[in-house]
Amino acid sequence: MEGLNPFVVFFASIFTNNMILTNFLGMCSFIAVSGEIKTSLGLGQAVTFVLTFTTVLNYFIYHYVLVPLGLEYLRFIIFIISIAAFVQLVEMIVERYLPNLYYALGIFLPLITVNCAILGVSLFMVIRDYNMIVSLLFGLGSGIGWTLAIVALAGIRKRLKYAKVPKGLEGPGITIIITGLMALAFVGFSGIVQIQ
Amino acid sequence: MGNKKLKKIFTLGIWKDNPIYRQILGICSALAVTNLMLNSLVMGIGLIFVTSFSELTVSLLRKHTPKHIRMMVQVLIISSFVIIVDIVLKAYYPSMSKALGPYVGLIITNCIIMGRCESYAQNNKPLYAFMDGIASGTGYAIILLVIAFFRELLGFGSLFGYQVLGEWFTKWTIMVMAPGAFFMLGIVIWVARSLLPGTEEESMKGEAIS
């Protein structure tokens, strides 16, 4: 995919190809952790950070190790291991040198390993055949888009406390419907840029 | 006695403890593939295969796996089965492999499988674990098909690719796009929870795992 403008990919991954709202990735923690704006912002930052670096890391692993060795079919296992290892490494480094950041992100880091968005972005990167710069911006943009969506949802859910919700719809049900409405709003962006 | 236990596993997995509407697990891939019924069917079969065989393997190895690395072992077992599904799809059904794209690989991070391995297969005999995997997987596949049924019917006017509704039908394009998936899932959860009231602790447990 030569000549693809990295910035187009960057903006597209925030707005028109938002990880949650159009690709449904990272839903589990999206529903579970969106109770409060502050915690969801913390999780969003952690996801953005990990997403950016693991995408680039997996890019190098895929193109410089797996492809020359002809082991492309092992990419699922390798990607998930590299993500888990990276998360573990970051946790140790942050705990040792940046205690403040550790308290802000610490509890979310282990959760991230099983976040589908991280693996999803790496797989998209391989399938769409992005180059290094595009992968970097794609990871960063996806993280920002994810953060945007989860913070917005947390803000809406805060108001929801005062609303009367039908019995069976309480909790996850109404959260998913709200996500649907947000997705509807994001469809409005789809005219700006488009990647596939 | 054995039969009774098996029967219980099935009713729990498919109906009472259904992974999607009861425990809100694994909805990432639940939504993405449900715009066509055929995609959902293939995804469902893939998931049943991966869940049941991973649970079987985890259960067989449960006495030999050290406690503190069991998560890693489980992830590796699950990934191996996902790779099998991916290779089989690529070889025998390339068009479907293309349509499902990264979502086949994302079965690995589907919380249902991990959750069942951790909570059931770790403490039960292989046969029961295998059956539990089939039951949870089937429960998941049924919900996928229900959502896909409405999305495809309203969005394209067809079922499994065959045109069911005639020319008079105005297609609801919104059902094929992302928001339609969220609305359908919300409605399915609403209906299921209203018909089958359960305790709140159960749903809390589900959220804690995910």
Answer whether A52's CB lies under 8 Å from A133's CB.
no
Q: How many CB atoms lie within 10 A of CB B177?
A: 17
pLDDT at B72 exceeding the cut of 50 = yes
User: What residues contact residue A1 under an 8 Å CB cut-off, 6+ apart?
Assistant: A128, A129, A130, A131, A134
Q: Which residue of chain A is at minimal alpha-carbon distance from B85?
A: A73
Residues 6+ apart with CB under 8 A from B117: B54, B55, B58, B74, B77, B78
A positions 33-72 inside 8 Å of B (CB): none
Q: Is residue A179 part of a domain?
A: yes
Q: Per DSSP, what are the bridge partners of residue B159?
A: B162
Secondary structure class of B125 (helix, strand, coil): coil
A109 and A90 in contact (C-beta within 8 Å)?
yes
**Can you give the pTM of this predicted structure?**
0.80
pLDDT score, position B203: 45
Nearest-angstrom CA–CA distance, B178 and A65:
36
DSSP assignment of A152-181 equals: HHHHHHHHHTTS---GGGTTHHHHHHHHHH
Using the beta-carbon criterion (under 8 Å), do B109 and A80 form an inter-chain contact? yes
Residue A169 lies in a domain: yes
Of the pLDDT bands very low, low, confident and very high (cuts 50, 70, 90), residue B201 is: very low
Band (B186; pLDDT cuts 50, 70, 90): confident
Boundaries of domain holding A66: 6-189
B48 closest CA partner among B126, B124, B144: B144
What Cα–Cα distance (Å) separates residue B68 from each residue in A176, B24, B74, B121? Answer: 35, 27, 12, 16
**What confidence score (pLDDT) does residue B13 get?**
66
Q: Give the residue ranges of chain A where pLDDT is below 50.
A: 1
Rounded to an integer, what distance in angstroms lies between the CA atom of residue A120 and that of residue A57? 14
Report the pLDDT averaged over residues B60-75. 81
- Write down the mean pLDDT value for chain B: 78
Residues in chain A with CB shorter than 8 Å from the CB of B31 are 24, 27
The complex's ipTM works out to 0.78
- Give B147's pLDDT tier (boundaries 50, 70, 90): confident
| C-alpha distances out from residue B149 to A43, A78, B93, B152, B157, Å | 35, 36, 22, 6, 10
Which of A176, A179, A189 to mutate: most B Cβ within 10 Å?
A: A176
What is the C-alpha to C-alpha distance for residues A143 and A18, in angstroms, rounded to an integer? 9
SS3 content of chain A, % helix, strand, coil (to 5): 80, 0, 20
E-only strand ranges, chain B: 158-159, 162-163
**Which residue in chain A is spatially nearest to B82 when comparing CA positions?**
A76
Better-predicted residue by pLDDT, B6 or A75: A75
What is the pLDDT at residue B36? 83
Going by the DSSP 8-state scheme, the letter that residue B166 receives in this structure is: -
**Residues ≥6 apart with Cβ < 8 Å to A125:** A55, A58, A59, A135, A138, A139
The answer to whether residue A1 is domain-embedded is: no
Determine, yes or no, domain membership for A195. no
Has residue A194 been placed in a domain?
Answer: no
The total domain count for chain A is 1
